[in-house]
Amino acid sequence: MKRIILLLGFAIITAQGFSQISFGPKIGVNLNRLSTDFNQTITDIKNESKTGLQIGAFLRIGGKTYIQPELLYSSRGGKFTGIPKGSTDESEYTYSIDAIDIPILVGSKVLNMPFVKLRVFAGPVASFFLDKEMKIDDIKDEQEVMKDCAWALTLGAGVDVLMFTLDLRYEFGLNNISDVEHQSVKNNLFNITLGWKIL
């Protein structure tokens, strides 16, 4: 959390040296896929994607090169099937997560025309879980099976047309979010968001 506060402080201070600042709301869709390694407890694992919502606001500081911190509410999750060790029947495991995401992006405008701008960007994302749940065959697991936060690296591209800004991103999960021994779960997601630059 201290790292995020320091990064946000740096972004605000750096804003004094830039000539352009814009901000606004944004909304989008997550397409989430969990990367799992349960080889010691589950076999024949098959992963499936799950969709979720993302909504929040962004602040863009800079011109050709810019810094963009964001504050987002994000719902995500994932689903996979597999056969638990000692069983012959397949089970379905469903993860659901509501989180506050704080991306700190650094970007560059590779096409900078008066009404259309094309951008590329990358940066870290901290996700703090508000609500988390795992179900096995639609029955909630009452154990504490997930950690409270996740770290990711996001890469993407965007286009600005007049006051609208459209982003396509892919997030690579960096840490194991499972709190269960011998189980590794990483959160990877693709999202598309549409923003409106008020300023």
- Residue-wise pLDDT for 112-166, tens only, equals 888 899 999 999 999 999 998 878 777 777 667 788 899 999 999 999 999 999 9
Q: Which one-letter amino acid corresponds to residue 68?
A: Q
Mean pLDDT of 173-187: 82
CATH number for the domain harbouring residue 170: 2.40.160
- Residue-wise pLDDT for 77-117, tens only, equals 888 778 777 777 788 878 889 999 999 999 999 998 888 99
Q: What are phi and psi of 198, to 5 degrees?
A: -70, -40
Q: What CA dihedral angle connects 154, 157, 159 and 163, to 10 degrees?
A: 10
Share of the chain above pLDDT 90, in %: 50
As given in the structure block, the two tokens for residue 61 are 């500081």
Domain assignment of residue 62, given as a range: 2-196
As given in the structure block, the two tokens for residue 57 are 């606001």
User: How many other CB atoms are found less than 10 A from the CB of residue 144?
Assistant: 11
| Total domain count, the chain | 1
- Residue 72's pLDDT band, with cuts at 50, 70 and 90, is very high
pTM of the model: 0.82
Contacts with 42 (C-beta within 8 Å, 6 or more apart), sequence order:
82, 83, 84, 85, 91
Residue 34 and residue 100: Cα distance in Å, rounded? 18
What is the structure's pLDDT at 19?
Answer: 55
Q: Which one-letter amino acid corresponds to residue 74?
A: S
Of 7, 103, 31, 14, the closest CA to residue 65 belongs to: 14
Q: Where is 43: in which H helix or E strand?
A: strand 42-48
- Residue-wise pLDDT for 6-33, tens only, equals 555 555 545 444 458 999 999 999 998 8
- Does 67 score more than 90 pLDDT? yes
Q: Which one-letter amino acid corresponds to residue 121?
A: F
- Residue 40's pLDDT band, with cuts at 50, 70 and 90, is low
Is pLDDT larger for residue 70 or for residue 188? 70
What is the structure's pLDDT at 15?
Answer: 45
